[in-house]
Structures are given as C-alpha cells and as structure tokens.
Amino acid sequence: MSDNAEIRFEGIGVSPGIAFGRVHLVREDIDEVVRYQIAPSQVTDEIGRFEAGLIQTRMQILEMQQRIAESIGAKDAAIFDAHLLVVEDRTLIDEVLRKLKTDLCNVEWAFQEVATRYAETLSKIDDPYLRERALDIQDVTKRVIRNLQGKAPKAFLSLSQPHILIAHNLTPSDTASMNRDNVLGIATDLGSRTSHAAILARSLNIPAVLGLHDITAKMETGQHVLVDGSDGWLIVNPTPETLERYKQIESRRAKVAAQLKQLRETTSITRDGRHIVLSANIELPEEVDAVAANGAEGIGLYRTEFLYLNRETLPSEEEQYETYRKVAERVRPNPLIIRTFDLGGDKLAAGAVDIGDELNPFLGWRAIRFCLENQDIFQTQLRAILRASTVGNVKVMFPMISGLDELRRAMVVLEESKQQLRSSKIEMAEKVEVGAMVEIPSAAICASALAREVDFFSIGTNDLIQYALAVDRVNEKIAYLYEPTHPAILRLLKMVADAAHANHIWVGVCGEMAGDVALVPLLLGLGMDELSAAATLVPRVKRAVQSLTIPECRELVGETLKLNTASEILERCLQLADNRYGDLLG
Ligand code: PEP
Ligand code: MG
C-alpha cells in the first residue's frame, strides 16, 4: 500500500472518538530478530532473561518428550535428547554470555549469532551425525528465541511520539501498561467489543477499532490514518474532504457531549419518577476521578484483577488495602462494588500468577475457580476489602459463580477472612453486602436459589452472552453472532431480574450492554435497578433513562418477548430509543 489513495477498512468500533496520526505498526513476526544496544547496567537483566528462556525451553522439550513417549514410544522420544543437549551446552552458553558483555547487545541477537555459527560449522562437516546435530541446533535456536522474545520488554509500550498503534492483538496488560498520552488511537486484527482490551480502551478514552482481520499485513509504520472508533473505520491516507467531514462530525459530537455534561449533577430518574442507580465500571484506580466527573453514583464494578497484571509479584494485603481505601474514600457515600480477582480468560497475569496454557481459557481456570483453589491469594484480597469497608460504602462481589455450592464455598472463605480480622482485632464494617455476578447461564437459570443467599446480583452480560450463545467474546470472526438481543438472552435476563425481585434483592447490569443506549429501554423494562458502564458512557445512559417511562419500557419487553430473532428485537429497541433520544444514536 504505497500510493496515497484513500482506503477504508471496516472493523468493530469499540471505543468512540476520532483520532488522526501516523501509524506505529507492531509486527508479530517474532522470529525476525533485531539487534539493539543495551547499557552495561542492563547486562545482568539480559543474562536473567537468557537463563529464564533456557529453562522455559528445557521444560517445553521435556514436556514434548513425555507426550511423544506416552503416545508413540520412548524410542521416538529419544530424539529430543539431542535437543536437550543444545540448551545444556556449556560452550555455547558461555560464548553467548561473552558476546553479550563485549558487544553490549540484546540476548536474542547474541544467541542467534553464536548458535547460527555453530550450526553452520557443523553442517559443513562431512559426517551425517554432525549434520543432524546442526539441524537440532537450528530447531532449538528458534524455540529459545521465541521464548526470549515472549519475555522481552515490548518496545511499543513506551514509544515517545504520538502515534496510532496498529497490532495483531493487544492483551489487556498491553493496554493497561502502554504510554497512554502518546497512543492517539488503536487498530488491531483481532478482538471485539467485549474483549478486555476494548473495555480498557473505552475507559482510557482512546478511540479504537478492532477486528480488522489482517490489517497488520497491509500497513506500514509512518502512514497517515484516521481511526473512527464510533463507527468502526480505519481510513488510510484520508483525503482533505474526508478530514473536513470528520471535523464536522467531531463538532456535532462535541455539541452533544457538552449538552450531556449539563446532566452531571442531575439524577437518573425516568420521566415517571423511577430512580435507576447509574454507576461506573473501573479497571484502574486512577480512573476514579472520571466517576464523579461523569455524574455516576459510585462504582458498580471495580475489576481488581488489573492490579495483578503487569507485575512479577502479587500485591500485598497492605498495598491492596491502601488502593481500595483510596478508591472507597473518593466515591463515598456512594457505593464501591469490589469484584474479587477475575484472572483467566483473556486476562492473564504476567508473572505474578501462573494460570498456565489452556485450550479453552474462557471455560477454564478463571475467576472464583482460581481463587477457591488459591485461598491465600483470595483471603489476602478479602481481608483488604473488608478493612477498606470501614472508610466507605464497600460491597464485595464474586465473579463467575456457576451455582450454589460455589457461592457457599466463597462465602465460607469470606467468613474465615472476617474471623482472621476479628481475632487480630482489626476493624471492618458491621455489615458488608455481598453480591454474585450472574454471568454463567447455569447461575441465571438457578438464580432463585442464589438470590436467597446474597444481597444483590450484578449481571455480567459480556460473559453471559458468550456462554449462552457459545460465541467467544474476543473472536472477531464470529463477532456477528454475539447478539445481546438474542431471544435467549432476553429470557435469561428476565429470569435473573424476576428471581432477584421475588427474593427482595436488587439487580443490576455491569456488562457492556448497560452502556448501550439502544438497549437501555429493554433493561429498564426488565426491571433492572442499576446500570453500571464505563464512566464516559454514563452521561449518555443518564439521558436515555431521563427520556423514558417504565410503562413504555415494560411494553417493549412484552412485545419483544413475542419476537423470535435478535434483529427484530433490536429493531424494536432502536425504534423506541430513536423516538426518545435519536441524537444519541447517530
Ligand atoms: C461481564 O462478563 O459482563 C463483566 C462485567 O465482567 P468482565 O467483562 O470483566 O468479564
Ligand atoms: Mg465477566
């Protein structure tokens, strides 16, 4: 793509806004080794990376060897002995270390140089055994380099020039740790609306278009692009006319945003007087300023696992307590709902916690399942939350509850954590409300039983939809099947809301559905008491709530329950939304 014609690519707009700038392309081509200089003070770190890379490679070879031995036989598995010899070859390792110190270059480069020279020398010798050894070295070299690159600090996270970041994929930890001031916009091959990278981009207010399939293969660093995160366009070499049109769109959006700002101090009451609690979701403690600034009534979901990403050690009880306390103080007397640790799925901790590779991470060792097996980590967090309850209106919420047994097990750990504090005479609030996230279909179907044992429900529609419809929430290839208005979802939401009210507890929605103004009428009609969305979306949701009446929303639900397709239901929702606040939809 070298000429200057304008080209448009359509993806999934996941974080609204417009950004224009030069591309920085992150290539996934991890076998391409680049050389960079290191300072003498970095040599120890590079040696550490080298050692870790060799250990990791050794473990991988041993694992492969065992798998082959079990499935084919020990004789075939013996070929890996030669591979093991390479990672244990002292002469080779010492030479890499020497090169690292004398050339002051990164370890991937040093290793590749030395290993390639070894392999070349062996391959030239006229001896079949030694030629085989050369192949072994090449094979193992690739593996070591891949492991080293997996551990290398990602250079794009600290770029100092403003840029539009284009990458194959961004993990939630990449998004949380990049230099936000310089990232004007984001575009990626993979991902969708409810992937955690998208959720974070929204919270950080960075326009983003994901799910562009193979955009990284088509782009080059330095190109001019426009990211339209509202409508999902990546426009390469935008013409002056396109830029002008976007300027006008921006100014219209700015006008709507200014009107929405006026709503900050108003309450979210429907036209017929029903108060719907409007809260914000946060991932990072520094987002707390945006909560009140956008007129939210507290925090409906604090995704605490982001405390654990990007670090090598777990935060101590004290550190967590300090963080939760500060957030609670900032939002009091409004509630702060702290969700316990939801690692797993697309949120993998860097070094602090090892979930391991799983074939189906979203169905795997995630959230409460992980915590119940790691009670030290769980109790440390629960004690920190309980201690923070003395300074604010703190509630605790368990993620990924699949049924009553699991909920009860979590309650037992909570009770034990309280006991530990009591016996150490450490203060906590008299009563700390406990909620369950309803985000697994089994929990929705058995909601009545759960409702009798908690103080509130918060429906995690991001996961509820992915599990009910069997649609991986981060897979852009099947994003078209991810339909919040699917008749099955409507029924599940109704079951949960009805079960909550029959048992006199409140129910909210904290998935991305709560921030979609087209769907707010449906959620109000279903009886939701609270909606919690990214802080920047709260003013829009408030306008929607203030424009609607509960009877018209109930009527909408009655009608849509008779419809059998997601598109028909969506169309009916859009009709009502368009009648009441059409300017927010465009
Ligand atoms: C959800 O699943 O809807 C939710 C709010 O939690 P998360 O997006 O962190 O999985
Ligand atoms: Mg979830």
Name which of 417, 439, 444 is nearest 428 in CA terms.
417
- Who contacts 25 (Cβ-Cβ below 8 Å, separation ≥6)? 166, 167, 216, 219, 220, 221
Same domain, 140 and 174: no
The C-alpha atoms of residue 205 and residue 585 are separated, in whole angstroms, by 19
What confidence score (pLDDT) does residue 351 get?
Answer: 60
Tokens of 40: 């003498």
Please say whether the beta carbons of 540 and 287 come within 8 A.
no
Q: Which residue's CA is the nearest one to ligand 1's atom 6?
A: 460
Same domain, 530 and 552: yes
The C-alpha atoms of residue 167 and residue 231 are separated, in whole angstroms, by 19
pLDDT tens sequence across 408-466: 999 999 999 999 999 999 999 999 999 999 999 999 999 999 999 999 999 999 999 99
The C-alpha atoms of residue 236 and residue 219 are separated, in whole angstroms, by 9
Domain count, the chain: 3
Q: Which of 175, 440, 471, 510 to mutate to test the pocket of ligand 1 (most atoms within 8 A of CB)?
A: 510
What confidence score (pLDDT) does residue 154 get?
Answer: 64
What secondary structure does DSSP assign to 206-243, as a single string?
Answer: --EEE--SSHHHH--TT-EEEEETTTTEEEES--HHHH
Residue 458 falls inside a structural domain? no
The C-alpha atoms of residue 320 and residue 310 are separated, in whole angstroms, by 15
Degrees, nearest 5: CA angle 398-350-187: 90
CATH of the domain at 23: 3.50.30.10
Q: Domain ends where: 202, 220, 251?
A: 251
Taking the centre of ligand 2 as the mean of its atom positions, its distance from the CA of residue 312, in whole angstroms, is 24
Same domain, 112 and 206: no
CATH of the domain at 289: 3.20.20.60
586 class by beta-carbon count within 10 Å (0-12 exposed, 13-18 middle, 19+ buried): exposed
564 class by beta-carbon count within 10 Å (0-12 exposed, 13-18 middle, 19+ buried): exposed
36 class by beta-carbon count within 10 Å (0-12 exposed, 13-18 middle, 19+ buried): exposed
The C-alpha atoms of residue 462 and residue 472 are separated, in whole angstroms, by 10
The C-alpha atoms of residue 174 and residue 544 are separated, in whole angstroms, by 33
The C-alpha atoms of residue 72 and residue 69 are separated, in whole angstroms, by 6
Containing structural domain, residue 207: 7-29+154-251
Which residues sit opposite 228 in a β-bridge? 18, 233
Please say whether the beta carbons of 278 and 259 come within 8 A.
no
Half-sphere exposure of 221 (CA within 13 A, CB side): 10
Same domain, 413 and 519: yes
Closest ligand 1 atom to 196 CA = 8
Q: Which residue's CA is the nearest one to ligand 1's atom 1?
A: 460
Same domain, 132 and 185: no
Same domain, 577 and 559: yes
The C-alpha atoms of residue 461 and residue 511 are separated, in whole angstroms, by 5
Judged by its nearest atom, the ligand closest to the C-alpha of residue 203 is 1
Give first-to-last CA distance, the chain, whole Å: 32
Q: Which residue's CA is the nearest one to ligand 1's atom 9?
A: 303
Taking the centre of ligand 1 as the mean of its atom positions, its distance from the CA of residue 106, in whole angstroms, is 39
What confidence score (pLDDT) does residue 72 get?
Answer: 61
Residue 393 falls inside a structural domain? yes
Same domain, 144 and 192: no
Q: Which residue's CA is the nearest one to ligand 1's atom 4?
A: 460
Residue 464 falls inside a structural domain? no
What confidence score (pLDDT) does residue 490 get?
Answer: 98
Judged by its nearest atom, the ligand closest to the C-alpha of residue 460 is 1
Residue 323 falls inside a structural domain? yes
Closest ligand 1 atom to 347 CA = 9
Same domain, 237 and 331: no
Same domain, 282 and 407: yes
Which residues sit opposite 29 in a β-bridge? none
Closest ligand 1 atom to 439 CA = 2
Tokens of 162: 């403003």
Q: Which of 462, 472, 482 to mutate to test the pocket of ligand 1 (most atoms within 8 A of CB)?
A: 462
Closest ligand 1 atom to 459 CA = 3
Judged by its nearest atom, the ligand closest to the C-alpha of residue 281 is 1
What confidence score (pLDDT) does residue 36 get?
Answer: 87
Please say whether the beta carbons of 188 and 174 come within 8 A.
no
CATH of the domain at 115: 1.10.274.10
The C-alpha atoms of residue 583 and residue 253 are separated, in whole angstroms, by 9
Same domain, 75 and 120: yes
What confidence score (pLDDT) does residue 257 get?
Answer: 87
What confidence score (pLDDT) does residue 74 get?
Answer: 75
Tens digit of pLDDT per residue, the chain (586 long)?
546 899 999 999 999 999 999 999 987 645 578 788 899 999 999 999 999 889 988 887 887 677 667 756 676 677 778 888 888 999 999 999 999 999 999 999 999 999 988 888 888 888 877 777 787 888 788 888 878 877 555 667 777 889 999 999 888 777 877 888 899 999 999 988 898 889 889 988 899 999 999 999 999 989 999 999 999 999 999 999 999 999 999 998 888 889 998 999 999 999 999 999 999 999 999 899 999 999 999 999 999 998 887 676 788 999 999 999 999 999 999 999 999 999 888 877 656 677 777 889 999 999 999 999 999 999 999 999 999 999 999 999 999 999 999 999 999 999 999 999 999 999 999 999 999 999 999 999 999 999 999 999 999 999 999 999 999 998 989 999 999 999 999 999 999 999 999 999 999 999 999 999 999 999 999 999 999 999 999 999 999 999 999 999 999 999 999 999 999 999 999 999 999 999 898 6
Global pTM?
0.79
Largest alpha-carbon pair distance within the chain? Answer: 90
Same domain, 219 and 309: no
508 dihedral zone (left: phi>0; alpha: psi -120 to 50; beta): beta
Same domain, 549 and 431: yes
The C-alpha atoms of residue 421 and residue 382 are separated, in whole angstroms, by 10
Taking the centre of ligand 2 as the mean of its atom positions, its distance from the CA of residue 3, in whole angstroms, is 44
The C-alpha atoms of residue 410 and residue 342 are separated, in whole angstroms, by 14
Taking the centre of ligand 2 as the mean of its atom positions, its distance from the CA of residue 196, in whole angstroms, is 10
- Catalytic residue positions, numbered: 196, 510
List pocket residues of ligand 1, CB cut-off 6 Å. Answer: 301, 303, 342, 439, 460-463, 510-511
